[in-house]
Amino acid sequence: MKTPEIRNNWQLEEVEALFDLPFNDLLFQAQTIHRMTFDPNKVQVSTLMSIKTGGCSEDCSYCSQSARNNTELEREKLAEVNEVLEAAREAKRSGSSRFCMGAAWRNPKSKDMERLLTMVSGVKALGMETCMTLGMLTDHQAQKLKKAGLDYYNHNLDTSEAYYGEVITTRTYQQRLDTLEHVRDAGLNVCSGGIVGMGESRQDRAALLATLANLPKQPDSVPINRLVKVAGTPLDEMESLEALEPLEFVRTIAVARILMPVSWVRLSAGRESMREELQALCFAAGANSMFSGEQLLTTPNAGEESDASLFAKLGLEALAGEEVVLG
Ligand code: SAM
Ligand code: DTB
Ligand code: SF4
């Protein structure tokens, strides 16, 4: 079988030209590349748990958890280890191979590290892959998490460098890139992607994907989130903001697949409001991982029953943990 070429010198114009292809040509290219590396009928499934909810100091204008946004969310302190292990057992039972723990922090504090490390080793001991998303990390924190058994760290670039300042002002794009470097250098698998539908242009979407693809090592996992509008957030209150056109979302997935041929492209937030046809097109465009369960971190997700029905209709199968080859 031919192996796809992995490039880290994508020019913005080349990526925009992919976005501009006739839809069928774009999907054919993406499918062809997808099939060189992956079984097109298998999907890696992760479950999310919010281990610390709300009250976040950052000003991300999409987020339900920012203390600056006037959302209805109830704040919760850092969860107890037992609670987390209970949720992980349940996720494993429902067929999930990776447990992803998310905290609404700018960054973890040193006083929290011990509990976080115990969570990681505990979930790992259940035979699941582990993932965390805790905000910015120092190199030392990344190394400690790796040593405890963390497999993946999620930290998104969110959008293009040019559009970034429209969405977040309390941390810089460079700080995000620095965290990714610490995570990579610690030997953790990198999960990094973004959100579309925040009012950015197609050029911004192309630039985000080019930046991800041109990192020193392409991310092992690339979540593509479609904005979930949460009442009380600035992006929800922006009246002129229309939902991203569904076929433009599929194009974004296809271009991610072409640029990052051996990465898991994750169909992430926003699935709950997508019809089956749209999700099917995303899988055809090269998405091959997703989140299961009734809830993402604070917003609803598609849920076990509808996912089981969709998988049956499409002949898709969830990958068992041991089939997931770690980079
Ligand atoms: N606080 C940490 C951080 O920001 O790095 C980790 C949790 S944060 C909720 C993880 C990611 O979820 C964000 O970077 C963003 O890409 C995505 N996300 C958050 N709220 C979202 C929303 N309303 N719609 C779509 N994606 C969202
Ligand atoms: C990612 O890119 N998407 C997930 C995961 N990483 C942590 C989170 C989506 C959150 C959606 C909004 C919420 O449920 O609060
Ligand atoms: Fe905080 Fe993360 Fe939400 Fe930003 S995305 S407000 S850092 S929880």
| pLDDT tens digits, one per residue of 124-183 | 999 999 999 999 999 999 999 999 999 999 999 999 999 999 999 999 999 999 999 999
Question: What pTM was estimated for this model as a whole?
Answer: 0.96
The span from the CA of 62 to the CA of 68, in Å, is 11
pLDDT for residue 303:
87
The sign of the dihedral angle between the CA atoms of 110, 115, 121, 127 is negative
Q: Name residue 76's beta-bridge partners.
A: 53
Pick the atom of ligand 3 nearest to 135's CA: 7
266 as an active site residue: the answer is yes
The span from the CA of 107 to the CA of 111, in Å, is 12
> Strands 264-267 and 289-292: what pairing?
parallel
131 as an active site residue: the answer is yes
89 as an active site residue: the answer is no
pLDDT for residue 320:
75
The secondary structure element, H or E, covering residue 19 is: helix 12-19
User: What ligand is nearest to the CA atom of residue 233?
Assistant: 1
CA distances from 1 to 32, 33, 252, 302 (A): 11, 11, 26, 35
Mutate to test the pocket of ligand 1, among 53, 56, 63, 208 (most ligand atoms within 8 A of CB): 63
The span from the CA of 251 to the CA of 191, in Å, is 20
The sign of the dihedral angle between the CA atoms of 44, 47, 53, 54 is positive
- Measured in degrees and rounded to the nearest 5, phi and psi for residue 56 equal -80, 140
- Residue 139 CA, chain-centre distance (Å), reads 21
| Ligand 1 geometric centre to CA of 55 (Å) | 14
Residue 109 has pLDDT above 90, yes or no: yes
Q: Which residues, 6+ apart, have CB-to-CB distance to 99 below 8 Å?
A: 46, 47, 49, 87, 88, 91, 92, 123, 128, 129, 130, 131
